[in-house]
Structure 1
Amino acid sequence: MIQMCYNFKDYYIENHHNTNILIALFTTSSARLRLYEMLDKLDRAVVCYDTDSIFYIDNGINKVKTGTMLGEWTDELGENVHITDWASTGPKSYYYKTNDNTFKTVIKGFTLNYQNLLKLNGEAMIKLIEENNKNINIELEYKQITRDTITKTLVIKNVTKKFSFDYDKRIILPDYDTIPYGYKL
């Protein structure tokens, strides 16, 4: 870990001859359009998506063509591997298990080491979702390397964070499907 001290100077930096903001904008917007096209195609089969990935239910009809070239969709699970169990408590917070018995838990903002995964795993996430109680928390502890602001030395601190299911971006239906606020059934 390093500490860099600097003074902010408000100078205009000339654009380098080999950079172009328009190319960056075109690339980003093209990727976004491809994402929206695929979301349109998959429709209600989409379980979860992010800027560069889509989790969906494959019914055999909505097969996504994959490849290894730039701009093609890739199958990150591997050939003949599919998700058997899935739970999500919100954006960037999900768990899945595959048919080859591989588990993956992702929770933005939390360090998921071995000890924390014993407390916050797929079973715990499913329990939080089923109980749908914002007052139930899972407390996680881990060590974090920080810098003491006075002495400038590195210090290892014990950090405690609480995880709970408080999804409020959409309306949750009894079958755990979600619809946007204001949507008429």
Structure 2
Amino acid sequence: MIACYTTCHARLVLYEYLRKLDRRVLNFDTDSVIFTERPGEWSPVIGDYLGDMTDEVEHLYREAPRTTPSRYAPDPRTFARQFAKSRINSSNERDVSFERLKTMVTEEATPLVVRYDKRISRVVPRPEKKTFRIVYTKRRRVENYDTLPYGYKHQRMR
């Protein structure tokens, strides 16, 4: 019962942040919010205690193309680290690059298929392929590559 209450309360706090950030939200998950920030705009208070927001990035990015919530590349220097789950290696690193990902996000680019060996029981190598493409499971796409959360009812601000 306590776990249900805690989870419900955390979700309400997340929704309050989303309400205040409004259209500046680029992406969010159960425990994180990625948003744009300009001088003079409201920003969540950063803290060190339970329930406080923390800055996990610890620096600013000018661009950070994202194909899915867990696949993003803040800048070319941190690309390999951010894509660690995608098994970037010498055979596919030239195909999966910051610029390629940026093109996939900003243009109607074809999905990128990356092949890598996955060891099963550490004995038998089997080729497996991973397709990188734009995926929206929590938001709907509108014009100019903008997205809105499912259920968003307000008129677009012009």
- Tell me the TM-score normalised to structure 1 length: 0.67
Q: How much has 1:172 moved relative to structure 2?
A: 3.0
Query: Secondary structure of 1:86's partner?
Result: coil
Answer yes or no: is 1:170 the counterpart of 2:156: no
Tell me, in whole angstroms, the C-alpha distance in 2 between the residues paired with 1:83 and 1:141.
29
- Code of the residue aligned with 1:145 in structure 2: it is R
With over 3 angstroms needed to count, the CA separation of the structure-2 counterparts of 1:122 and 1:172, relative to structure 1, is farther
Query: Secondary structure of 2:49's partner?
Result: coil
Larger relative contact order (C-alpha < 8 A, sep ≥ 6)? 2
Q: How much has 1:57 moved relative to structure 2?
A: 0.8
Q: Which runs of 5+ in 2 are unaligned?
A: none
Pairing partner for 2:7 from 16, 28, 36: 28
Task: Say how many residue pairs are matched.
Answer: 150
> Which deviations, in whole Å up to 9, do the C-alpha atoms of 1:98-138 show, x marking residues without a partner?
9xx5445459xx623233443223211221233324xx231
Answer yes or no: is 1:143 the counterpart of 2:121: no
Q: Larger % of helix: which?
A: 2
- Code of the residue aligned with 1:113 in structure 2: it is I
In our comparison, the structure showing a higher alpha carbon Rg is 1
Which residue is 1:37 aligned to? 16
Which residue is 1:8 aligned to? none
Q: How much has 1:24 moved relative to structure 2?
A: 0.7
Contact 1:144 1:157 in 2 (8 A): yes
With over 3 angstroms needed to count, the CA separation of the structure-2 counterparts of 1:50 and 1:181, relative to structure 1, is closer
Pairing partner for 1:118 from 82, 87, 94: 94
- Tell me the TM-score normalised to structure 2 length: 0.77
Which residue is 1:95 aligned to? 73
Tell me, in whole angstroms, the C-alpha distance in 2 between the residues paired with 1:41 and 1:55.
13
**What is the root-mean-square deviation of aligned Cα atoms in Å?**
2.8
Pairing partner for 2:108 from 126, 132, 141: 132
Q: Percent identity?
A: 29
Q: Which runs of 5+ in 1 are unaligned?
A: 1-21, 148-152
Which residue is 1:13 aligned to? none
Contact 1:87 1:96 in 2 (8 A): yes
